[in-house]
């Protein structure tokens, strides 16, 4: 019948395995969210690349924000005017501003679509009031759709076309999931480190070989009873014996050890105070 120490060790092993499973699962969830964010942003960027900035898909009765370039000598919205091929399309000029990325003079305003405007394709021309007609104007291409489904179909964005929502909104909605996953993984990692240390185990986070000797650093130190000169055993992630080494440097929660041999040791392997050759029982499922 197992004694108290054996029961405690078995219980800690179960807690460790459970925490490791949860960390792996939550880590995969976080990676999935990150991958979906990348896809959503890519969807938005591709749509922006293929869709001209002066094309607007609207519904009757809708009002949308619009902007466009201006000559440098235009400083007031009162200097601007518009001409539309439909009486139900009007532009209100709000302000003159500098471009966000490439600079330059730009105007910002609102395009209002009449509620009774017939669906179709229209053009709105923006120009300074005192410019002669032969000078080219900035043109807004307005596509008025009869309903929401038709409006969606005009988008180059896969997400916008099939859901009606901006791909950037999808990306923003997934960001809290990534943040929660990162926080949970950090919490579980600390929990795992504590459980491993309680069993005389520590994950190796640095491993470098020089002239036939491995220099290893791991998260177990004097706080856990380790001292310079102590022997440690190196185990792979499945608990298989790799080799033995000796502690050469010690800190409160970390230590450095040297291990001689040709065997491969990587970060993610373990340093143990108690294991011997074979497979460590603490890693059995």
pLDDT by residue, tens only, the chain of 285 residues: 444 444 444 556 678 788 889 999 999 999 999 999 999 999 999 988 888 888 999 999 999 999 888 887 888 888 899 999 988 999 999 988 876 655 678 889 999 999 999 999 999 999 888 888 778 888 999 999 999 888 888 888 999 888 888 999 999 999 999 999 999 999 998 888 888 877 788 889 999 998 889 999 998 888 888 899 999 999 988 888 999 999 999 999 899 999 998 889 999 899 998 654 455 555 544
pLDDT of residue 1: 44
Domains 53-154 and 200-283 share a fold: no
pLDDT of residue 12: 60
Cβ(231)–Cβ(245) under 8 Å? yes
pLDDT of residue 9: 47
pLDDT of residue 262: 84
Q: Which CATH class is domain 200-283?
A: mainly beta
Q: Which CATH number applies to 53-154?
A: 2.60.40.1510
pLDDT of residue 285: 43
Domain boundaries, given as residue ranges, for the chain: 4-48+171-194, 53-154, 200-283
Give the CA angle between residues 167, 169, 175 to the nearest 5°.
110
CB burial of 73-91 (b: ≥16 within 10 Å; e: otherwise) equals ebeeeebbebebebebbbb
pTM for this entry: 0.67
């Amino acid at each position: 019948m197992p004694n108290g120490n054996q029961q405690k060790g078995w219980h800690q092993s179960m807690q460790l395995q459970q925490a490791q499973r949860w960390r792996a699962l939550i880590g995969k969830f976080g990676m999935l969210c990150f991958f979906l964010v990348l896809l959503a942003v890519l969807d938005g960027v591709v749509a922006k690349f293929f869709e001209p900035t002066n094309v607007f898909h609207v519904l009757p009765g809708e009002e949308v924000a619009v902007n466009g370039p201006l000559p440098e000598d235009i400083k007031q919205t009162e200097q601007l005017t518009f001409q539309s091929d439909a009486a139900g399309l009007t532009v209100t000029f709000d302000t003159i501003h500098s471009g966000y990325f490439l600079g330059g003079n730009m105007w910002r305003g609102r395009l209002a679509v009449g509620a009774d405007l017939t669906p179709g394709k229209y053009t709105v021309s923006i120009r300074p009031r005192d410019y002669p007609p032969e000078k080219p104007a900035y043109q807004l291409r307005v596509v008025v759709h009869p309903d929401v489904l038709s409006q969606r179909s005009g988008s180059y964005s896969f997400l916008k076309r099939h859901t009606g929502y901006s791909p950037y909104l999808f990306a923003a909605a997934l960001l809290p999931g990534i943040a929660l996953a990162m926080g949970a993984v950090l919490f579980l990692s600390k929990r795992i480190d504590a459980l491993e240390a309680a069993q005389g185990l520590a994950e190796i986070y640095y491993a470098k070989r020089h002239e036939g000797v491995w220099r290893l650093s791991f998260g177990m130190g004097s706080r856990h009873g380790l001292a310079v000169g102590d022997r440690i055993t190196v185990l792979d992630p499945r608990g298989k014996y790799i080799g033995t080494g000796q502690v050469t440097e010690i800190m409160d929660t970390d230590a450095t050890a040297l291990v001689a041999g040709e065997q491969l040791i990587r970060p993610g392997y373990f340093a143990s105070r108690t294991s011997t050759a074979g497979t460590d029982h603490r890693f059995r499922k």
